[in-house]
Amino acid sequence: MRRYRCIIISLIFLGLLEWGNTAFPQNPICDIKINGSDKPVTLHQSDTLTITIVLDNNQQTDNADWWLAAETPFGLYFFTFEGWTTEWKPGYQGPLFHLDSYEVLNTPLSGLPAGTYTIYFGVDTVMDGNVTWNSLYYKEVVFNIETTQGPIKVLFAVHVEPFLPEFGFDYGARREEMYWLRDLALTHGAKLTVASNGEFMEFVEDFGDQELVQSYLDAGFNWGTHIHPLWREGRHDWILESPDTSEDLVRRIWQDNVNAVNSVIGTENNYGVAPYQCAQPLLAKMMREYGFTIQTALTEPAGIMAWENLGHYPWNPFRPSAETGKFLKEDLKQTQYILIPHYPQLEPNPGPSGPRSLGTNQKNFLMEYIEWLHWQRNGLPTKVWVFGIATHDCYNNPNRDDIETMLEWLDENFIGKTTPTGEIIAEYATATEIAKEFYQWETEHPHESSFSWEEGQPYPYTYSDMPNLLREAEYDTVIDLENTLACYRFTRENASPIYVLWSWVGEQVIDFSSQIPDQVRVYDGKGNEYISASGTLKVTEEPIFVEAN
């Protein structure tokens, strides 16, 4: 722990005294303030902490033990002029005297764990290096360090596809995948957000499988509507149309699919819609007409735009504009619905909006994690962060192992886990849970955009070069250097591995030659690069991307 932060230390025993700091005319009176206040204070890691102390000795000049300490989320420490220690030692021993307001500490809070801190200042008029309870006079003050960013919300989307040649016609096999996905999610504590086409729900009714759907709802999962361009002429007679069909027929498509879903789960349980292809401004019109407030998944043109221009999907929910072709632009005046992005099917095969492999999904999460850490570390304004993976009932079976590995990797490293500074990194959430948090964010941040981008605008996040550096890369493994460093390795098909590193405790110079001998090329993710000797690689709290020179 660096010395300048060590005031965040503790003297918990002082708080145990029931009689507190009872003041009589002849007794010394202590006072302590955090950022000028002796009331509880809430701070953020972007703030600066000041601690000031005052002693009115009431003309007493007895020798005394002077104590300064604090109770922190990471232990009990005591101040001495030689530094901070976990040993019970007074900070100073000598006569009492009148001390006007004296600033003990003025330091940034960056890097300190979130949580509650209680700082104590006291004097003990029996000067023996120990606490003598009936001669102790003290005052305490409390402050809380709050995180600026909540955990990354991990959405696990399941799309139930129409019965078409490219998706298959075996309802029984699809039903088995839905049971498997339910059980997998329950095992991992994940939360599923299902969007189903209409004909699947007809099969649910035909085979009496309502209990399967109900088990999803009972588990707190979401179930909604997935719309491909098929309308219903009769039971199990669904007619496929082109995506650019007439508005009246689009309305019929939506109505038939929504009705079929609602007939099983009820209108009140239909969380929203995942439209496969529906162009703006018609999409916004349909959302209004059918009363949907949540869209999950980017439409295919939006996904292609995100991949080609940003290198990843948006990391925040937003309110999509109804302008034609402005798939990633936000319109704060559009109050009907929000879009919660998630990636396409997790599978080895690439799609129009980029690779979809396990390693790509892991890389996508790490890129968002790096951005989230930047906002957390710098105390930037709060946002809602979302990362979504997806599977389909008809595509799930051959990808079971990768999907389970993805959840295991998230669980082991991120879900419910904290950074060294105490922030929870990620948690599973349904679409409705994410929407609820987003609506609260909107209330607290009126007229503030969550995410917005359109062609011609700069990259909307911090590390504009990161998606390019990692574009052809897949996550490989964690490199275990030491617990004050984070290091991840990515493989590339036609190039040597590339690494991302950062320090949890400020600047360090490390020997990286076990990974790359001789010289390395270092990128800051913002367009700058330089050459370094691998044996003396400088690492700070800002991420660097490193490859062989």
Using an 8 Å Cβ cutoff, are 17 and 78 in contact? no
pLDDT per residue as tens digits for the range 343-371:
999 999 999 999 999 999 999 999 999 99
* Helix, strand or coil, per DSSP, at residue 103: strand
Quick one: pLDDT at residue 82? 84
Arch. (CATH architecture) of 29-146: Sandwich (2.60)
Q: Please choose, from the candidates 108, 97, 154, the residue with its C-alpha nearest in 3D space to the C-alpha of residue 7.
A: 108
- Range with top average pLDDT, 60-74, 115-129, 213-227, 231-245: 213-227
Looking at the DSSP bridge assignments, the partners of residue 492 are: 473, 495
Are 541 and 38 in contact by the 8 Å Cβ rule? The answer is no
Least Cα distance to 157 among 226, 204, 227 occurs for 226
Closest C-alpha among 67, 98, 96 to residue 84: 67
The domain 154-445 is placed in CATH, from the list 3.30.465.10, 3.40.50.720, 3.40.50.970, 3.20.20.370, at 3.20.20.370
**Where is average pLDDT lowest: 70-79, 168-177, 249-258, 384-393?**
70-79
Q: Judge if the upstream peptide bond of residue 281 is cis by omega within 30 degrees of 0.
A: yes
User: According to the 3-state scheme, what is the secondary structure of 11-72?
Assistant: CHHHHHCCCCCCCCCCCCEEEEEECCECCCEEEECCCEEEEEEEEECCCCCCEEEEEEEEEE
* Whole-angstrom distance, CA of residue 240 vs CA of residue 218: 33
Q: What is the rounded distance in angstroms from the CA atom of residue 342 to the CA atom of residue 363?
A: 14
Tokens standing for residue 65:
């033990």
What pTM value is reported for the model? 0.82
Q: What is the mean pLDDT of residues 124-133?
A: 92
Cα gap 423→148, rounded to integer Å: 9
* 24 has pLDDT over 50: no
Q: What is the pLDDT of residues 100-122, one digit of tens each?
A: 999 988 888 876 777 899 999 99
Query: Closest Cα to residue 430, out of 277, 266, 219, 226?
Result: 219
Residue 436 has pLDDT above 90, yes or no: yes
Common-topology check for domains 29-146 and 467-548: yes
Q: Does domain 467-548 have CATH number 3.50.50.60?
A: no
Q: What is the DSSP string of 470-502?
A: TTTEEEEEE----TTEEEEEEEETTEEEEEEEE
Q: How far apart are CA 498 and CA 490, in angstroms?
A: 5
With cut-offs at 50, 70 and 90, classify the pLDDT of residue 5.
very low
Q: How confident is the model at residue 294 (pLDDT cuts 50, 70, 90)?
A: very high
Q: Which residues contact 381 (CB under 8 A, 6 or more apart)?
A: 148, 445, 448
- Evaluated on CA atoms 108, 111, 114, 119, the torsion sign reads negative
Of the CA atoms within 13 Å of residue 50, those in its CB half-sphere come to 9
Rounded to whole angstroms, the Cα distance separating 373 from 452 reads: 20
Between CA 339 and CA 330 the distance in angstroms is 10
Q: Averaged over 111-140, what is the pLDDT?
A: 90
Average per-residue pLDDT for the chain:
92
Q: Where are the domains of the chain?
A: 29-146, 154-445, 467-548
Average pLDDT over residues 82-86: 85
* Res 105: pLDDT: 86
**421 residue type, one letter:** T
